[in-house]
Amino acid sequence: MNFPIHPASISRFMRADLPTRPHQYKMLVDGKWTPSLSGETFTRQSPGNDMIVGEYAKAGAADVDLAVTAARKAFDAGSWAYMAAEDRARILTRTAELIRQNADRIALLEALESGKVISQARAEMDWSANLWDYCAAVARTLHGDSHNNLGANLIANVMREPIGVVSIITPWNFPLLIISQKLPFALAAGCTAVVKPSEFTSATTLILGELLLEAGLPAGVVNIVTGFGNTAGQRMLDHAAVDMISFTGSTNVGKLAVRASAGTLKKVSLELGGKNAQVVFADANLEEAADAIIEGAFKNAGESCNCGARLIVERSVRDELVERVVERARQVQVGDPLDPAAQIGAIINQAQLDKIVGFVDGAKRDGVEVLLGEGRVPSDAGLFVYPSILMGVDRHMPVANDEIFGPVLSVMTFETAEEALSIANQSEYGLSAAVWTSDYETAITFSRRLQAGTIWVNTYSSGPAELPFGGYKQSGIGRENGRAGVEEFTELKTVQFHFGGRQNWWANGRR
């Protein structure tokens, strides 16, 4: 059965502010906009309408070396690491203001490059700016500890210091939001950074570089290189002058980052894949759950590590809940990312679209019933796919365990809470999960046993800046956001002060 989408095929939504030709971007190194040393460039074609939207400098290892050298100098010899927190906070606050002032321009480029719908891209501007505001506050409250109960002759300070130079590598699905979950936290701690955005979505990170310079960030504190993972990205992982790696992306690439860090024992912070469960008990508010299930599975075209791809529902209410979910899913509009009415935009590239369709086809061959949606949406340009709801999924099937990164919802059932917990926890991932129930005790006891870094109860996908975010198991290492997000970029140093005279150890040993 085909998803009864409106419109039946994708039509173009024209905007007056569309670029008439690709913008040419340079890299930010030591406060200056520079081309690659090789002079090579690459282009990005919009997945929503096939137009070329940007041309970027293609960084190689030598370009990364220059960027790391600039970051190293800015940390070791510059003022940033020892700048008064109020001054760092002022720059972070100003950056938040500039993001809001430039939100329409940034959101348009993000929608063109990523394929996400313009309404969502615009909302992410506010979310991103809020993270910079939050980090400005944390910069002024970050501190160490003092100890005066160590005896008559000893006091100590425990200092929290910036870790140093950080390699930050970000993915394509939330370009500005994810860099805003990393960079302002590193800056608040006093670190310097080399940043590489995805080659699919480089524009908004480069615009962020412009805004940082306008906000007064010293040269070399943030450097941005553009290019590909096997060259520029690998060098950022390997470089001996880098103290920490902060990476968001696939679990497989995260494992490569860990291996690369071993050479110099760099600290590693990873936010990786997810196969997240929405567990619905029979006493839940099914109306509210249905709405959240649709959002969790289909928002951002399912291209999200937090995608609620697994619906695990108590058997007695399965049919009623699925009927509600299908009813709402029929109203979801796939369309041109620039159309304000569209709720699901384009898929990032052809390989990802083929992967999504392949999972649905494989599930059909395994006997799964496709309630809604299968295959590619007809379109004269761009990459679009029907959202899919799969019924009768066995917990051991690939579609129930592998991260698809697309709008595919797999429905499974349970009889007891223990069975629901077993299905939810069987995944190798542990990023997030939701519990739907009207019983407070069920919510608490079930949440405590779920193996995930974020648990939502009777909601889905909220994420205040104050709350830490990260995963269990193969969903990552470390935490972003909240105070923990800043502390990830710090080292602890213990300084002990002795006074009142010290007995000579050598003389004492001769008695």
Listed residue (177, 183, 164, 261) closest to 224, CA to CA:
183
How far is 134 from 442, CA to CA, in rounded Å? 33
Listed residue (38, 19, 12, 14) closest to 27, CA to CA:
38
Confirm whether 419 is a catalytic residue.
no
The identity of residue 28, as a single letter, is: L
The conformation of residue 22, written as its DSSP 8-state character, comes to P
Tell me the pairing of strands 369-372 and 52-57. Answer: unpaired
SS3 of residue 370 by DSSP: strand
How far is 212 from 63, CA to CA, in rounded Å? 21
**Cβ atoms of residues 401 and 275 within 8 Å:** yes
Query: Active-site residue among 110, 113, 199, 271?
Result: 271
How far is 429 from 398, CA to CA, in rounded Å? 14
Listed residue (385, 442, 388) closest to 418, CA to CA:
442
Strand partners, 75: none
Query: Active-site residue among 305, 314, 487, 488?
Result: 305
Q: Please, what is the angle between helix 440-449 and helix 417-425, to 10°?
A: 30
Confirm whether 305 is a catalytic residue.
yes
Q: What is the DSSP string of 440-500?
A: HHHHHHHHHHS--SEEEES--S---TTS-B--EETTEES-BSHHHHHHTTEEEEEEEEE-S
Half-sphere exposure of 356 (CA within 13 A, CB side): 30
The conformation of residue 330, written as its DSSP 8-state character, comes to T
Listed residue (274, 257, 275) closest to 266, CA to CA:
257
How far is 125 from 79, CA to CA, in rounded Å? 30
How far is 165 from 222, CA to CA, in rounded Å? 10
The conformation of residue 315, written as its DSSP 8-state character, comes to G
Listed residue (108, 234, 83) closest to 176, CA to CA:
108
Mind telling me the catalytic residues?
A: 271, 305
